[in-house]
């Protein structure tokens, strides 16, 4: 999602805000701050202003933002917004129940798309309190929804039978604090969305192909801190980050479920998923980009004409975490990747396809790869021009160091674990065929490998001759451990570029 889309969502949240009656702020100050906030993201903001007594009314309030490369625009229209001074230093904000969001996409090399989304809010209550440079918003609504109400593709109206979609949530409660200091706008938000539901359907008007996905997320909540430069008007991520923008936020849910189906060529693939909770966290600054996505207690069931049997799988945990630098640097900076697939199991029906006699242990399987490193980035990865300047053979940076914190592969009665630490000499690209020369040690531990090979022979998957070759290969790189059917291996690359396995040179 581009920063401009985040801005639209943030603008909607700011409009929804409301706080306690303990500070001193006026309707004009609230409007001035909101307008400056939206303009800082590059939105063109227009509205007719009028005042009657203690109420400032804005009519035909329009937020307009061009899409990248002049391929259309997004328009958000609020027919009437009222800011009412309540006489105690606070401001109440009244909005219409429904507000249209218009998206017009007109690429030069593809079909034009004109879309209208209705943004609806029910039973909103809003108050704004604070001071001109420090406002707090406390807000609530019984529900909110974003519904596709109109879709025109290349001049042809698409009926709701062919395309429909909506997202809804509620009840909504939250608090947002916006403060100005040292040229920055700081936004701290805590938000509860209750149950989030989504429902999308679509089909080919000229054929039978169609698809759908529907689902819910329970107990959705989020918290975020954002810092934005006050005097920078752009939606270019690179420019905003260089000016000091920072985002640190997380979204969590306690349970989720979904159903999907897709029909193509007269054949339908369908399935269901569920989980016992999860989270999505993101940190972004001019130094780095940090994503962490996690799901717990995952269940997946899929039926497809391309598969002989229904697929059913469960997993205790799925996690993907990565940390990458954003801007160019002359010095090495941190990077990391973590992939966790823990407690994977599947149905006995699937096991019976390749192991009908139950020879292999069917204990839950786990794969963990946890890497940390140092890299020297040569370009800003969020600057399209810098990325386009790279030819296919030029890497975006240098790898300086890599640490394997944890390698775990545990499945079918066998286990491999490992740890390692390497540095890389980027001035030597000859020793390892264009790769920077590594120097360091990798330690591996294996258990149950010979037992697994025996079982694969019994199942007929591996011949005696192939098994002998595999065992010889293991003996070249590993030595027996202290326990039965265990092996250890120490792979070392020294400063001369020699590769050694357990002290024996193999390169």
Residue 108 has pLDDT above 80, yes or no: no
Mean per-residue pLDDT of the chain: 89
pLDDT confidence of residue 206: 74
Q: Which one is predicted more confidently, 38 or 421?
A: 421
Could you give the CA distance from residue 507 to residue 504 in angstroms, rounded to a whole number? 9
Q: How confident is the model at residue 109 (pLDDT cuts 50, 70, 90)?
A: confident
Specify the pTM: 0.85
pLDDT confidence of residue 12: 47
Residue 1 has pLDDT above 70, yes or no: no
CA proximity to 413, closest of 458, 465, 479: 458
What digits encode the pLDDT tens for the residues 62-93? 999 888 777 888 999 999 999 999 999 999 99
Could you give the CA distance from residue 159 to residue 205 in angstroms, rounded to a whole number? 9
What digits encode the pLDDT tens for the residues 133-170? 999 999 999 999 999 999 999 888 998 888 999 999 99
* Cα 223 to chain centroid, rounded: 15
435 DSSP 8-state letter: B
Cα four-point dihedral sign 83, 84, 87, 91: negative
Residue 235 has pLDDT above 70, yes or no: no
Could you give the CA distance from residue 187 to residue 212 in angstroms, rounded to a whole number? 37
The answer to which of 223-237, 278-292, 304-318 has the lowest mean pLDDT is 223-237
Strands (E), 204-253: 210-229, 246-253
Task: Assign 3-state DSSP to the chain and report helix, strand, coil percentages, each to 5.
Answer: 15, 55, 30
What digits encode the pLDDT tens for the residues 180-223? 988 899 999 999 999 999 999 998 877 788 999 999 999 999 99
Place of tokens 């294996």: 446
Please list the residues that pair with 298 across neighbouring strands: 315
Residue 251 has pLDDT above 60, yes or no: yes
How do 504-505 and 210-229 pair as beta strands? unpaired
User: Cis omega before residue 171 (within 30°)?
Assistant: yes
pLDDT (mean) for 213-237: 89
Residue 23 has pLDDT above 60, yes or no: no
pLDDT confidence of residue 100: 92
Could you give the CA distance from residue 416 to residue 21 in angstroms, rounded to a whole number? 61
> Which token pair is 7?
């801005």
The answer to which of 19-28, 239-248, 373-382, 411-420 has the lowest mean pLDDT is 19-28
Q: How confident is the model at residue 7 (pLDDT cuts 50, 70, 90)?
A: very low
pLDDT confidence of residue 507: 82
pLDDT confidence of residue 232: 76
């Amino acid at each position: 999602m581009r920063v401009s889309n985040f801005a639209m969502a943030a603008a909607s949240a700011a409009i929804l805000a409301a706080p306690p009656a303990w500070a001193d702020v006026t309707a004009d100050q609230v409007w001035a701050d909101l307008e400056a906030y939206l303009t800082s993201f590059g939105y063109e903001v227009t509205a007719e202003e009028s005042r009657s007594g203690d109420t400032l009314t804005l009519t035909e309030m329009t937020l307009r933002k061009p899409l990248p490369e002049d391929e259309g625009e997004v328009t958000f229209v609020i027919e009437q917004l009222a800011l009412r001074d309540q006489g105690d230093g606070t401001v109440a904000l009244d909005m219409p129940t429904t507000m249209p969001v218009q998206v017009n996409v007109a690429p030069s090399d593809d079909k034009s798309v004109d879309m209208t989304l209705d943004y609806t809010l029910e039973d909103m209550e809003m108050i704004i309190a604070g001071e001109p440079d420090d406002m707090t918003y406390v807000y609530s609504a019984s529900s909110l929804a974003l519904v596709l109400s109109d879709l025109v593709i290349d001049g042809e109206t698409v009926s709701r039978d062919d395309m429909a979609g909506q997202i809804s949530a509620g009840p909504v409660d939250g608090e947002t604090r916006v403060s100005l200091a040292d040229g920055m706008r700081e936004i701290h938000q805590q938000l509860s969305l209750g149950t989030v539901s989504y429902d999308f359907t679509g089909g080919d008007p000229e054929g039978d192909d169609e698809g759908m996905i529907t689902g819910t997320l329970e107990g959705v909540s989020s918290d975020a801190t954002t810092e934005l430069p006050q005097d920078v008007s752009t939606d270019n991520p690179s420019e905003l980050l260089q000016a000091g923008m920072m985002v640190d936020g997380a979204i969590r849910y306690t349970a989720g479920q979904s159903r999907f189906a897709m029909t193509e060529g007269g054949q339908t693939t369908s399935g269901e998923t569920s989980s016992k909770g999860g989270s999505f966290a993101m940190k972004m600054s001019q130094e780095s980009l940090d994503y962490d996505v996690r799901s717990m207690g995952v269940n997946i069931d899929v039926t497809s004409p391309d598969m002989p049997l229904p697929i059913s799988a469960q997993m205790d945990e799925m996690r993907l975490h990565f940390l990458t630098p954003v801007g160019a640097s002359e010095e090495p900076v941190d990077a990391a990747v973590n992939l966790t697939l823990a407690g994977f199991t599947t149905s006995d029906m699937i096991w019976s396809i390749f192991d009908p006699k139950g020879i292999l242990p069917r204990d839950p399987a786990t794969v963990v790869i946890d890497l940390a490193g140092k890299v020297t980035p040569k370009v800003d990865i969020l600057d399209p021009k810098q990325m386009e300047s790279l030819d296919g053979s030029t890497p975006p940076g240098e790898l300086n160091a890599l640490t394997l914190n944890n390698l775990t592969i545990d499945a079918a009665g066998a286990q491999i674990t490992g740890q390692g630490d390497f540095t890389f000499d980027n001035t030597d690209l000859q020793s390892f065929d264009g790769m920077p020369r590594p120097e360091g040690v990798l330690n591996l531990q294996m258990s149950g490998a010979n037992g697994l090979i025996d079982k694969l022979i019994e199942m007929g998957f591996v011949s005696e001759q192939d098994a002998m070759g595999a065992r010889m290969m293991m003996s070249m790189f590993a030595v027996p451990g202290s326990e039965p059917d265990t092996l250890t291996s120490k792979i070392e690359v020294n400063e001369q570029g020699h590769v050694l396995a357990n002290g024996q040179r193999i390169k």
